[in-house]
Amino acid sequence: MNSSLLFLIPLLPLIGFIINGIGFRHVPKSLAGVIGSAASLGAFAISILAWNAFEGQPQVVKLFDWISIGQLTIPFAFQIDQLSLLMLMVVTGVGSLIHIYSMGYMHHDEGFGKFFAFLNLFLFFMLLLVMGSNYVIMFIGWEGVGLCSYLLIGFWNKVTNYNNAARKAFIMNRIGDLGFLLGIFMIIQTFGSVEYLEVFAKAANGSFSINDTVIVTITALLFVGAMGKSAQIPLYTWLPDAMAGPTPVSALIHAATMVTAGIYMVIRSNVLYSLAPATLGVVGGIGLLTAVVAASIGLYQNDIKKVLAYSTVSQLGYMFLALGVGAYTSAMFHVMTHAFFKALLFLGAGSVIHAMSDEQDIRNMGGLRKHLPVTFWTFFVATLAISGIFPLSGFFSKDEILAHVFEHNQIMWGIGLFTSMMTAFYMFRLLFVTFFGEFRGTHDQKHHLHESPATMTIPLIILAVLSAAGGLLNIPHVLGGGESLAHFMAPLFELSKQVNPDLFEGHLEHSTEYILMGVSVGAAVLSILFAYNLFMGKKVVPAADKDVTGFPKVLQNKYYVDEFYEAVFVNPMRKLSDLLYSFGEFLIDLVVNGTGRLVQFLSGRLRLLQTGETGFYVFAMVLGILVILAWNLLLK
Amino acid sequence: MIPHLLSFLTFHPLVGSVVIALLPNSQKEAFKWIAVFFCACQVVVSAVVYYFFSTQTADFQMVEKADWITLSMGSLGTVSIDFILGVDGISLPLIMLSSVVMMVGVFSSFSIAKREKAYYSLYLLLTTSIMGCFLALDFFLFFLFFEFMLLPMYFLIGLWGGPRREYASIKFFLYTLVGSLLILIVMIGLYISVIDPYESELAKTMVHTFDLRLMTDGRNYLPDSILTPSGEITLLGVPSRMLAFWLLFIGFAIKLPIVPLHTWLPDAHVEAPTPVSVVLAGVLLKIGGYGLLRIAYPIFPDAAAEYAFTLAILGVISIVYGGFNALAQNDLKKMIAYSSVSHMGFVVLGIASLTAEGLNGAVYQMVSHGILSSLLFLLVGVLYDRTHNRLIDNYRGLISYMPLYTIITGITFFASLGLPGFSGFIGELFTLMGGFQSDRLPVWLTALGTLGIILAAAYFLWTFQRMFFGKPWAKNPTELPFLSDLNRLEKWMLIPLVLMSFALGIFPGWLFSLSDKTVSHLLKIFE
């Protein structure tokens, strides 16, 4: 394949953005969606070509030297290797499905063309992020997807809450980005380059010992960036709010692709992270904590998208947990399966919301199974997958993570297992309450219930197939598989293995693996049964907000973290800015104007001497002569 | 090569100024178009200068030198003031920026509706003094242009400004005058310390000089003079060279402006008419940064290196303090004025870092801020022209009335808050990178500076959301009929500037290639 074709991958969505963006209101609706989707499909097609042409060695394709200053050169170049190819497939593949879905979902929206323009722009930046051959290009893509996330969360910009959510997302991400930026500065200072291949080669040349302070600092700073983008504690609260955006956006940006950028970044920098087990410890710890906390909040949410949002935060935590124990491949595996089933869940939720005339509260749903059969069945597949039921994709990826965690630390494994039980519970709670039982909505809504059009259901079906079969990518040896993903990705971690072989050691007995699998599936089934008993047997409907008390109320209010941030960070910032303006500026001007007044005052006094009377001047002159005489004669 | 190109670049607007002054008052249309003609001419000439400019050398290029004033003072030697103009990699970007901003400013001036004759005449006078400032290589000549800027600015704010224009203009005038005085003191000190070796040889007597190029060479200082590089002379217990550096720094810091010497700026901006704000933020502030790079740093490298940390702290304080203040504003124009303070802080940080990244970044940031602040003030002007009101709280959902205006404001806000793809990102990236790389500055200081980036996101997005999003609403409903979208003239002013910021953001290498040689030459004296 001609390597210049690679540039078309991000270029096509960019062209789509330009056509739909500049031509907004002029491009007819039917065309806008087609252009947007075609751009995405085109990028997908070329990605497949690139996949087929890939020969196993990382390939860097340089466009031009972007910046050259002093000793530093930053080329504008793309790197094609196992990692970027996998990300390309996920981003363009899932992205294309969501574009097609959006043609149906956004059909009635007046901002249809604008929506596709933004979606294409997002793809462009996301592709830049995963294809760039150095940290600066990654950062450009990183900020760019943040912009698109902002634009799409606040897509319906007449609603103040949505705008608040958009702003919160951008600013919170910015905080993370600063960490990333400082990390890049430090990389430049340490390695004199930002190119991945150069940096990693220098990092692995033996001059850095394990847990070298510099490397630990760099990786920690980069991880701050990942915390922001991938919604980890403490920078996670923007993601649930981000559900204000249209549902396809939640599926594409806030579930399948953008939020996994943090994981991509850590895997990309695996050499550095392997050199810094101390940072990996933090990564794993934060990941686990996020997974538990978010899952527990998910137990009591009643907004269909909020449940999925917390589930996303929790699953991202899972991925960081995997990274934390050095299981890079497992994290990437989970990124992929999660992209399938979570995109499917969101698109299914979108189909429900579409049918329910924009209702999102599951307490007002129920019994939708009969009216939305395709949506129901695909949603069911995804729910099974995320709950880790054999043999769906989620089972394989989650089990792999848990197995690695078990090798590493059994307490963490226990907490991880507990999290996965909560996951199975809240997902089946969602499924049962939404699709089973009696319909609880208004008469009007009932009247309008309908299955979504084919543009929406076909992507659902494709994603359902992927969610079901995605596990085939990496079937473990113990189940007679070839671990093909692990083999494919192995070259990425060669340097890591070289610098820190301990991280990759540890091997479980087959019998242990069987037990672990059994335990995790058993646990999931147990919580599904529990949910079944509660919501199908006893036909419980989640209580109205005012009837929730005690710890569930704390959970429903997300541990009051938003209120805490508001009180501890946001308000003091506001107060400080008001104080600096009212008091600081006042003080400075007091000095400035005071100086002016003083000069005026003194000059006013001096002016009194200028009387214009000859007599006074003669008197002053005589006085002066006397003083000089006295000085010379008496005092000298 | 065209002879006297730089003189032409500097002085031809003066011709326009005189022509306008001589025309009868009734020729209102003619004033505008004469001004447009001369500013356009300046854009073309600066493009020609760019064409002949070589990026391969750090030397001054297209130098013009003429004896201007020579006075024999008997035993005291000879007073020699020369007329020297020249351009290098630091001044060229600023020259091109100025010519563009002045051009845009003229179009924006079309809304001025009183005393047009005086206005355009002063405007062109200002144009000449700005160019002169960037091109002069003789300290005396520089000072002359520097002072001369004050006069038209004072009147432009004081006569065409808002309700508190007199307070604002006198504040501006006094602040800047104090700065000039400090610079004047140092200029005299330098003059008595430095001699021109060639002229002295010829004249067989000590010929003192104001030539900035000679002042950078320690060998040209008289051994016992007050500013001798040996640094033995002290004044009030302070080494004289350190003192002189600080006087210069304060003089330029007022212009830049650096907290706490900035309070003239918000007042001046709030009262100034739109085009004057554009020129003020777009060009005049840069003379502060330019002065540091052209005069303070090359002549007193010892002091600059010694106080790098203090200077960087001042820069970071400006970044953070300006950012916080911008967050507190309800007047759109004041918000932007404080954002200028914050963004110019990056310039100081970059310069103080004494690294290639930092200094190139500072030059870049000046150009970038010149474009973006011009845009921002033009955008305020668009709203103000329609409603004579620019309080943020008075509007909501402007996107419904003015979609294109909203889009361009959105792009400009994002460009200003440092979104990659636009110039603001590169400027901030490289000044911060310089701060980080510098072994003279601690890491935490730069890390603190990055806070400015979060603050910028906060105040720009908060403002954007409040004014443009939400349900369409205006506090004073009678204004609603006036909220029409951009007219053709406004589009012609705004869109090219947006494109410039974009182009610089995509191809920053172009601008860096202009300044890199000069900057590395400057940095050699610090090694």
Contact B437 A189 (CB under 8 A): yes
Distances (CA, A) of A578 to B104, B299, B322, B462: 34, 41, 12, 15
Nearest CA in chain B to A599: B174
Q: Is residue A233 one of the residues assigned to a domain?
A: yes
Q: Is residue A545 one of the residues assigned to a domain?
A: no
pLDDT of residue B75: 66
Q: Is residue B119 one of the residues assigned to a domain?
A: no
Q: Is residue B93 one of the residues assigned to a domain?
A: no
Contact B462 A167 (CB under 8 A): yes
pLDDT of residue B27: 81
Distance of CA A303 to the CA centre of its chain: 20
Distances (CA, A) of A426 to A490, A562, B291: 35, 22, 65
pLDDT of residue B80: 79
Place of tokens 């989620």: A394
Give dist(CA A32, CA A49) in Å, integer: 26
Task: Please report which residue ranges of B221-355 form alpha helices under DSSP H.
Answer: 240-255, 264-271, 274-279, 285-291, 297-299, 301-306, 308-327, 332-353
Q: Is residue B88 one of the residues assigned to a domain?
A: no
Mean pLDDT over each residue of chain A, to the nearest integer: 88
Tokens of B427: 């400027």
Determine what percent of chain A is predicted with pLDDT higher than 90: 37
Query: Tell me: the pLDDT tens digits for B46-62?
Result: 999 999 999 888 889 99
Give dist(CA A606, CA A593) in Å, integer: 20
Which residues are within 8 A (CB) of B396 and not within 5 positions of it... i.e. 6 or more apart?
Answer: B466, B467, B469, B470, B471, B472, B473, B474
Query: Tell me: the pLDDT tens digits for A477-491?
Result: 777 777 788 888 888
Residues of B in contact with A584 (CB under 8 A): 321, 325
Measure CB to CB from residue A143 to each of B420, B433, B508 and give the nearest one: B420
- A619: helix, strand or coil: helix
Q: Label residue A525 exposed, middle or buried (CB < 10 Å: 0-12, 13-18, 19+).
A: middle
Nearest CA in chain A to B400: A158
pLDDT of residue B76: 66
Q: Is residue B278 one of the residues assigned to a domain?
A: no
Measure CB to CB from residue B327 to each of A166, A182, A577 and give the nearest one: A577
Reported ipTM: 0.90
How many domains, in total, are found in chain A?
A: 1
Tokens of A480: 């007679």
* HEC profile of A414-483: HHHHHHHHHHHHHHHHHHHHHHCCCCCCCHHHHHHCCCCCHHHHHHHHHHHHHHHHHHHHHCCHHHCCCC
Nearest CA in chain B to A185: B433
Q: Is residue A353 one of the residues assigned to a domain?
A: yes
Q: Is residue A627 one of the residues assigned to a domain?
A: no
Q: Which of A17, A62, A63, A69 to mutate to test the interface with B (most CBs of B within 10 A)?
A: A69
The average pLDDT across A455-459 equals 88
Give dist(CA A631, CA A325) in Å, integer: 89
Residues of B in contact with A147 (CB under 8 A): 414, 419
Q: Is residue B370 one of the residues assigned to a domain?
A: yes
Cα–Cα–Cα angle for B246, B251, B254, rounded to 5 degrees: 120
The average pLDDT across A158-173 equals 89
Q: Is residue A33 one of the residues assigned to a domain?
A: yes
Give dist(CA A241, CA A566) in Å, integer: 14
Tokens of A446: 């009932």
Give the end-to-end CA distance of chain B in Å, rounded to a whole number.
Answer: 35
Contact A580 B357 (CB under 8 A): no
The average pLDDT across A365-386 equals 88
Contact B420 A574 (CB under 8 A): no
Measure CB to CB from residue B470 to each of A158, A186, A580 and give the nearest one: A158
Chain A touched by B471 (CB under 8 Å)? yes
Q: Is residue B284 one of the residues assigned to a domain?
A: no
pLDDT of residue A181: 92
Contact A574 B356 (CB under 8 A): no
Q: Is residue B490 one of the residues assigned to a domain?
A: yes
Give dist(CA B273, CA B165) in Å, integer: 10
Q: Is residue A548 one of the residues assigned to a domain?
A: no
Chain A touched by B453 (CB under 8 Å)? yes
Cα–Cα–Cα angle for B62, B64, B69, rounded to 5 degrees: 165
Model confidence, pTM: 0.92
> What does residue A211 show for φ and ψ, rounded to 5 degrees?
60, 30
Question: Could you tell me how many CB contacts below 8 A there are between chain A and chain B?
Answer: 123
Q: What is the domain extent for residue B407?
A: 307-527
Place of tokens 């990178």: B433
Neighbours of A605 (CB within 10 A): 8
Evaluate if residue A495 carries a pLDDT over 70.
yes
pLDDT of residue A636: 64
**Chain B closest-CA separation from residue A520 CA (Å):** 43
Determine what percent of chain A is predicted with pLDDT higher than 70: 99
Amino acid type, B214:
L
User: Residues A301, A556: contact at Cβ < 8 Å?
Assistant: yes
Contact A70 B429 (CB under 8 A): no
Tokens of A274: 């392997």
Contact B175 A584 (CB under 8 A): no
User: Residues A253, A145: contact at Cβ < 8 Å?
Assistant: yes
Chain A touched by B200 (CB under 8 Å)? no
**Angle between the B451-468 and B403-416 helix axes, to the nearest 10 degrees?**
170
**Chain B closest-CA separation from residue A238 CA (Å):** 15
Give the end-to-end CA distance of chain A in Å, rounded to a whole number.
Answer: 100
Tokens of A102: 């959006």
Contact A68 B437 (CB under 8 A): no
Q: Is residue B368 one of the residues assigned to a domain?
A: yes
Contact B356 A181 (CB under 8 A): no
- Which element (helix H / strand E) includes B64? strand B61-72
Q: Which of A67, A118, A138, A598 to mutate to test the interface with B (most CBs of B within 10 A)?
A: A67
- B340: helix, strand or coil: helix
Nearest CA in chain A to B419: A143
Of the candidates B108, B405, B124, the residue with the CA atom closest to the CA atom of residue B272 = B108
Chain A touched by B401 (CB under 8 Å)? no
pLDDT in tens for each of the 527 residues of chain B?
788 899 999 999 999 999 999 988 888 888 999 999 999 999 999 999 999 999 888 889 999 988 888 877 766 677 778 899 999 999 999 999 999 999 999 999 998 888 889 999 999 999 999 999 999 999 999 999 999 888 899 899 888 988 888 888 888 888 888 899 999 999 999 988 888 888 777 877 778 888 899 898 888 888 888 888 876 777 777 888 889 999 999 999 999 889 888 889 999 999 999 999 999 999 999 999 999 999 999 999 989 999 999 999 999 999 999 999 999 999 999 999 999 999 999 999 999 999 999 999 999 999 999 999 999 999 999 999 888 888 998 888 888 899 999 999 999 999 999 999 899 999 999 999 999 988 899 989 999 999 999 999 999 999 999 999 988 888 888 888 888 888 999 999 999 999 999 999 999 989 999 999 999 999 988 87
- Strand pairing of B473-474 and B395-396? antiparallel
Nearest CA in chain A to B465: A163
**Angle between the B403-416 and B423-437 helix axes, to the nearest 10 degrees?**
10
Residues of A in contact with B321 (CB under 8 A): 580, 584
Distances (CA, A) of B230 to B249, B292, B302, B464: 21, 22, 10, 55
Residues of A in contact with B513 (CB under 8 A): 68
Contact A144 B512 (CB under 8 A): no
CA atoms within 13 A on the CB side of A224: 17
Of the candidates A214, A196, A201, A188, the residue with the CA atom closest to the CA atom of residue A70 = A188
Nearest CA in chain B to A575: B328
Residues of A in contact with B447 (CB under 8 A): 182
One-character DSSP codes across B457-477: HHHHHHHHHHHHSSS-EESSG
Query: Tell me: the pLDDT tens digits for A284-328?
Result: 999 999 999 999 998 888 888 999 999 999 999 999 999 999 889
**Angle between the A393-408 and A410-435 helix axes, to the nearest 10 degrees?**
160
Q: Label residue A369 exposed, middle or buried (CB < 10 Å: 0-12, 13-18, 19+).
A: middle
How many domains, in total, are found in chain B?
A: 1
The average pLDDT across A238-266 equals 90
Give dist(CA B443, CA B157) in Å, integer: 41
**Chain A closest-CA separation from residue B52 CA (Å):** 22
Of the candidates B94, B4, B87, the residue with the CA atom closest to the CA atom of residue B53 = B87
Q: Is residue A247 one of the residues assigned to a domain?
A: yes
The average pLDDT across A342-351 equals 91
Contact A69 B421 (CB under 8 A): no
Of the candidates A595, A243, A163, A208, the residue with the CA atom closest to the CA atom of residue B264 = A595
Query: Tell me: the pLDDT tens digits for A17-34?
Result: 999 888 777 888 888 889
Tokens of A622: 């005589």
For chain A, give the number of residues: 636
Residues 486..515 of B with a Cβ closer than 8 Å to A: which? 508-509, 512-513
Contact A158 B471 (CB under 8 A): yes
User: Residues B510, B93: contact at Cβ < 8 Å?
Assistant: no
Query: Tell me: the pLDDT tens digits for A569-627?
Result: 888 888 888 888 888 888 888 888 888 889 888 988 888 888 788 888 888 899 999 99
Q: What is the domain extent for residue A487?
A: 3-526
Of the candidates A139, A179, A171, A79, the residue with the CA atom closest to the CA atom of residue B420 = A139
Mean pLDDT over each residue of chain B, to the nearest integer: 90
Amino acid type, B435:
G
Amino acid type, A426:
Y
The four Cα atoms B167, B172, B174, B178 give a dihedral, to 10 degrees, of 160
pLDDT of residue B284: 93
Chain A touched by B173 (CB under 8 Å)? no
Give dist(CA A162, CA A421) in Å, integer: 32
Task: Please report which residue ranges of A192-303 form alpha helices under DSSP H.
Answer: 196-203, 213-229, 238-241, 247-251, 261-268, 270-275, 277-298
Of the candidates B326, B345, B269, the residue with the CA atom closest to the CA atom of residue B457 = B326
Q: Is residue A578 one of the residues assigned to a domain?
A: no
Q: Label residue A380 exposed, middle or buried (CB < 10 Å: 0-12, 13-18, 19+).
A: middle
- A63: helix, strand or coil: strand
Nearest CA in chain B to A151: B410
Give dist(CA B447, CA A182) in Å, integer: 7
Chain A touched by B482 (CB under 8 Å)? no
Residues of B in contact with A160 (CB under 8 A): 469-470
Distance of CA A616 to the CA centre of its chain: 83
Residues of A in contact with B365 (CB under 8 A): none
Give dist(CA A483, CA B217) in Å, integer: 70
